[in-house]
Chains A and B, each alone.
Chain A
Amino acid sequence: MIDLENVAYSYGGGELLSEMSLSIASGAFYFLTGPSGAGKTTFLKLCYGALVPTAGQIRIFGNDVRGMSRDEVALTRRRIGVVHQDCQFIDHMSVLDNIALPLAVSGNNTLAEDANLKELLAWVGLSHRAKAFPPELSGGERQRAALARAIIMSPDVILADEPTGNVDWEMSERLLQLLLELNRMGKTVLIASHDLSLIRSAKSQVQARVLRISNRRLQLAGANL
């Protein structure tokens, strides 16, 4: 799905990430861990084409990121659901409209999707908040709304950046269950998190691969965390 080959990224100064090679397999469940500031968010941004590697090559669905036009990047993002820690919404539109936004943007805003939308809202437990505006939501509700928005286009890959960063344990468990369920439906899931208890909880339920960014390099962590 997403292939990295000797990828490096630097923000002007020294390299933040270097010599990273990885092939994200279809249907797999990944955790990406590492200390704060190690470059987890940068890694995710590279994976959805928000950043272009300073060295090496990234192919998303077989296309080299460097050769992609802006429109191609936009079309690629419709196949990748992204959930950020500080997820942003369009604040003057209701939660329902925000979640449906990817459909509107891609021109799939049909009546047939309305039923799906209701189902999706129920699935993330936000049916009662459909008419609310994003600033009125709690941290957990925001994360779930962002997740719903990320998956409404039925993407092949879901990238989540510290999805449980702002929520309590119970809510992170709930979010994890949603992500696990998506993975069981065949979606590739990659979660960046430094929450080890979340990773342990997941590993008991799914064959999760744990990647660690350490010393600017990407390593496959062992079974023991």
Chain B
Amino acid sequence: MNSLHGLLEVLRADHHRDRVVPATGFTATLTTLTAAAMAFLIVFALSLSFAADRLSARWATALEGTATIRISAPQDQLAIQVERSLAILSETAGIETARALNIEEQQALLAPWFGPDIPLADLPVPKLIAITEMDGGFDAQGLRLRLAAEVPGAVLDDHMRWRKPLVRAAQRLTLLGAFSILIIALTSGAMVMLAARAALAANAQVIAVLRLIGATDTYIVAAFVRRFAMRAFVGSCLGVVGGGLILLFLPSETTTASILTGLRLQGVDWIWLFMIPPALAAVAFIATRFAANRVLGELS
């Protein structure tokens, strides 16, 4: 109840009270700049988080529902083994399609490493069979055992071992971004608190005068808190605008095939930027209130 009253007191614009604390000063500029820097950092931590989130979602779905069989065998047996594999696959429950990649497709896959003109036909390159699963998936372990018995050169890869660590890494990155935002918010709070303590010390006379003439703690605290919350708000607006502009001019996703995604925010994610200034103002509010209440508690 008491803190609600305090909050309402802070939100209430009071021309007279707002002038009680000197408007200018080193700490004022410093608080605004700090808030701007912090907001700027939060913009990038946010975009990192969102990018990582998109990445993990993409990696999770991109290879989902597909598997590959790789057949390495002497050249003369290759065709037979591919045929045998396809036959086994057609008998396996849960497999939608199975198709051996042709020379051109394999060439396209290898082109990034060997260049476009490799004579693939002359090389002992393994053959690949691309599999798409039905919704329920198939029994990978059973298929692996059957292939081992009948097609010695075949290796089934259901992509799980690639996907899992990638998705996990991307999720960790998302978490790291969120954690960074938390740390930045806490640091902002600490910095505002230090600045507020300095301001309270510098304005000891103002506080003494206010106490003498019968100002309640709520009034005195509100005078300082409002100042600092406003500075944090203005500063973080500047930081968000700066960070946002940089993000806006970052290259978007290069190509759709790329597994990497741009840092640039997408769609509704931009809305999050508008929440930074109020959030930092709230952090400044809490920090200043805490500092002011402590300082006042020590006075008679």
A81-100 vs B, CB cutoff 8 Å, 1 = contact: the mask equals 01010001111110001001
With both beta carbons as reference points, the residue of chain B lying nearest to A75 in the complex is identified as B214
Q: Are A92 and B217 in contact (CB under 8 A)?
A: no
A153 CB, min distance to chain B CBs, angstroms: 7
Pick the 6 closest A-B CB pairs, nearest first: A77-B214, A78-B214, A104-B16, A105-B215, A102-B213, A74-B216
A102-116 vs B, CB cutoff 8 Å, 1 = contact: the mask equals 101110010000000
Q: Are A109 and B16 in contact (CB under 8 A)?
A: yes
CA distance A97 to B19 in the complex (A): 10
Q: Are B19 and A74 in contact (CB under 8 A)?
A: no
Q: Are B214 and A106 in contact (CB under 8 A)?
A: yes
Q: Does A149 contact B (CB under 8 A)?
A: yes
A168 CB, min distance to chain B CBs, angstroms: 26
Q: Are A89 and B209 in contact (CB under 8 A)?
A: yes
Q: Does A128 contact B (CB under 8 A)?
A: no
Given known A50-B300, A88-B208, contact A93–B213 (CB-CB < 8 A): no
With both beta carbons as reference points, the residue of chain A lying nearest to B296 in the complex is identified as A70
Residues from 170 to 189 in B contacting A, C-beta threshold 8 Å: none
Taking A75-B216, A105-B215 as known contacts, 17 extra A-B pairs with beta carbons closer than 8 A to each other, sorted by chain A number, are A51-B300, A70-B217, A71-B216, A74-B211, A74-B215, A74-B216, A76-B214, A78-B213, A88-B212, A89-B209, A90-B209, A91-B205, A93-B20, A101-B209, A105-B213, A105-B214, A106-B214
Given known A51-B300, A92-B22, A93-B19, contact A101–B208 (CB-CB < 8 A): no
Q: Are A90 and B214 in contact (CB under 8 A)?
A: no
Number of interface residues of A (CB under 8 A): 27
Residues from 282 to 300 in B contacting A, C-beta threshold 8 Å: 296, 300
CA distance A153 to B210 in the complex (A): 14
CA distance A74 to B207 in the complex (A): 12
B14 to chain A: which residues have CB within 8 Å? 104
Q: Does B206 contact A (CB under 8 A)?
A: yes
CA distance A89 to B210 in the complex (A): 9
A63 CB, min distance to chain B CBs, angstroms: 15
CA distance A92 to B215 in the complex (A): 18
Q: Are B205 and A149 in contact (CB under 8 A)?
A: no
A77 to chain B: which residues have CB within 8 Å? 211-214
Given known A50-B300, A51-B300, A93-B19, contact A105–B219 (CB-CB < 8 A): yes
B206 to chain A: which residues have CB within 8 Å? 90
Sample (15) of A-B pairs whose CB atoms are under 8 Å apart: A71-B216, A71-B218, A74-B216, A77-B211, A78-B214, A82-B212, A88-B205, A88-B212, A90-B20, A90-B206, A91-B205, A101-B210, A104-B14, A105-B17, A105-B214
B134-153 vs A, CB cutoff 8 Å, 1 = contact: the mask equals 00000000000000000000
Given known A50-B300, A91-B205, A101-B209, contact A74–B16 (CB-CB < 8 A): no
B218 to chain A: which residues have CB within 8 Å? 71
Residues from 26 to 66 in B contacting A, C-beta threshold 8 Å: none
B16 to chain A: which residues have CB within 8 Å? 97, 100-101, 104, 109
A89 to chain B: which residues have CB within 8 Å? 209
Most buried by B among A91, A97, A101: A101
A106 to chain B: which residues have CB within 8 Å? 214
A88 to chain B: which residues have CB within 8 Å? 205, 208-209, 212
Residues from 47 to 73 in A contacting B, C-beta threshold 8 Å: 50-51, 70-71
Most buried by B among A84, A89, A105, A149: A105
A91 to chain B: which residues have CB within 8 Å? 205
A93 to chain B: which residues have CB within 8 Å? 19-20
Q: Are B22 and A101 in contact (CB under 8 A)?
A: no
CA distance A51 to B300 in the complex (A): 7
B137 CB, min distance to chain A CBs, angstroms: 68
Q: Which of A92, A97, A149 contacts B213 (CB 8 A)?
A: A149
Residues from 184 to 222 in A contacting B, C-beta threshold 8 Å: none
Most buried by B among A70, A71, A106, A109: A70
B215 to chain A: which residues have CB within 8 Å? 74, 105
CA distance A153 to B214 in the complex (A): 10
Q: Are B214 and A102 in contact (CB under 8 A)?
A: yes
A127-164 vs B, CB cutoff 8 Å, 1 = contact: the mask equals 00000000000000000000001000100000000000
CA distance A93 to B210 in the complex (A): 13
Residues from 89 to 106 in B contacting A, C-beta threshold 8 Å: none
With both beta carbons as reference points, the residue of chain A lying nearest to B297 in the complex is identified as A70
